[in-house]
Amino acid sequence: MADVSQKPMTVDLDPVQLVAADGTPTSESRYGRGLPPETLCWLHEMMVVTRELDTEFVNLKRQGQLALFASCRGQEAAQVGAAACLRKTDWLFPQYRELGAYLVRGIPPGHVGAAWRGTWHGGLDFTKKCCAPMSIPIGTQTLHAVGAAMAAQRLGEDSVTVAFLGDGATSEGDVHEALNFAAVFVAPCVFYVQNNQWAISVPVSKQTAAPSLAHKAIGYGMPGIRVDGNDVLACYAVVAEAAARARAGGGPTLIEAVTYRLGPHTTSDDPSRYRTQDEVDRWAALDPIPRYRAYLQAQGLWSERLEERIAARAKRMRAELRDAVFDAPDFDVDEVFTTVYAEITPGLQAQRQQLLAELGRLE
């Protein structure tokens, strides 16, 4: 067994916070805020662009152009901060709500649109940017992240993997297996739980009897840490620390980013049926974007010109997304069969023949 006496066995319930809700720096001294000014401004840009595109995705769904969309409104800091501190060669294993992380990775919004439009590849293009396709089956991506981390370890690479999961996902058996494997095999993997307080209509209080989701780390023998998920600098710092530990052979970390899903679960959901407007208003007052803008202002880094440049970029990207979705070609249904294995299996070939016959397309 691993030498458990060396493992940190406590988790602080107070989330790490570097910037308070009013935009002033906190007294937190374990983590630095000293990023270069251009990085500090870029974090703001990525959060604003994420929110703007998120709104465009919702509009496109309302226009019948997408099958569904899961908004990340309110979680921009948690996603942008976590993705921004990583190397481009570190693999991301998202759930499905991680628009901010995809954009930081440089995944074209049109590719995300293709996934939500329900075309066959469902985000397969993401892999070109070291990002796994979205995982609709909750928690399964954590096993993939651990497997990929163990592969990197065996190949002698120094990349890390980051599994994005939700508070609800922590109740899945798959996530237990992933956490245990990662800890026992010292896998270079970061588990990044965005605790947005809800799993569809189930509150986080119904997910665990532990003091917090981060406390589960103790049972697995890995560090657990809570971070203010609406504070982009805190998320950046905490994930950077965990990634550095993993890269140096120190094994996995379980991070709980405490945040809130300001929108519905998906475009098919009506959250007013299970949560109060009071609650939403309380969290809306903690919105990560105005908070960080106030911080940049106080640091002398914010200007009208910066905001205009960001707004222009967001407008351009919204137009690009609309064009990509409206001009998307219809995919050939045959690709459902021809892209699964290098050589099609007899069972799939039979199904393919049947479908092509029904479509009158058999040569």
Ligand X SMILES: Cc1ncc(C[n+]2csc(CCOP(=O)(O)OP(=O)(O)O)c2C)c(N)n1
Interactions with ligand X, residue window 40-79 (CB under 6 A): none
Out of Mg ion, ligand X, none, what residue 141 binds, judged by CB under 5 to 8 A for its kind, is none
Q: What percent of the residues of the chain are helix, what percent strand, and what percent coil, each to the nearest 5?
A: 50, 10, 40
Decide: is 199 part of the binding site for ligand X (CB under 6 A): yes
Query: Which one, of 301, 291, 306, lies nearest residue 25 by Cα?
Result: 291
Segment holding 325, helix H or strand E: helix 304-326
Asked whether 322 and 60 are in contact (CB, 8 A), the reply is yes
Out of ligand X, Mg ion, none, what residue 138 binds, judged by CB under 5 to 8 A for its kind, is ligand X
Decide: is 252 part of the binding site for ligand X (CB under 6 A): no
Decide: is 16 part of the binding site for ligand X (CB under 6 A): no
Rounded to the nearest whole angstrom, what is the least distance from the CB of residue 272 to ligand X in the complex?
A: 17
Between the alpha carbon of residue 150 and those of residues 108, 132, 153, 160, 169, the distances in Å are 29, 16, 5, 9, 21
- When the beta carbons of 93 and 181 are compared against Mg ion, the nearer one is 93
- When the beta carbons of 26 and 208 are compared against ligand X, the nearer one is 208
Decide: is 137 part of the binding site for ligand X (CB under 6 A): yes
Question: Rounded CA gap, 295 and 178, in Å?
Answer: 37
Number of residues forming the site for ligand X (CB under 6 A): 15
- When the beta carbons of 200 and 319 are compared against ligand X, the nearer one is 200
Decide: is 166 part of the binding site for Mg ion (CB under 5 A): yes
Interactions with Mg ion, residue window 187-216 (CB under 5 A): 196, 199
The CB density around residue 204, as the number of other CB atoms within 10 Å, is 19
Question: Rounded CA gap, 1 and 323, in Å?
Answer: 56
Asked whether 112 and 134 are in contact (CB, 8 A), the reply is no
DSSP 8-class letter at 19: B
Residue nearest to ligand X (CB): 166
Rounded to the nearest whole angstrom, what is the least distance from the CB of residue 261 to ligand X in the complex?
A: 6
- When the beta carbons of 73 and 97 are compared against ligand X, the nearer one is 97
Question: Rounded CA gap, 63 and 244, in Å?
Answer: 44
Among 81, 109, 123, 166, binds ligand X (CB under 6 A): 166
Question: Rounded CA gap, 228 and 234, in Å?
Answer: 7
Decide: is 196 part of the binding site for ligand X (CB under 6 A): yes
Decide: is 200 part of the binding site for ligand X (CB under 6 A): yes
Residues with a catalytic annotation lie at: 261, 265, 274
Between the alpha carbon of residue 174 and those of residues 114, 206, 219, the distances in Å are 27, 18, 16
Decide: is 167 part of the binding site for Mg ion (CB under 5 A): yes
Rounded to the nearest whole angstrom, what is the least distance from the CB of residue 235 to Mg ion in the complex?
A: 16
Decide: is 138 part of the binding site for ligand X (CB under 6 A): yes
- The residues of the shown chain that bind ligand X, judged by CB under 6 A, are 95, 97, 136-138, 166-169, 196, 198-200, 261, 265
Residue ranges that bind Mg ion, judged by CB under 5 A:
166-168, 196, 199
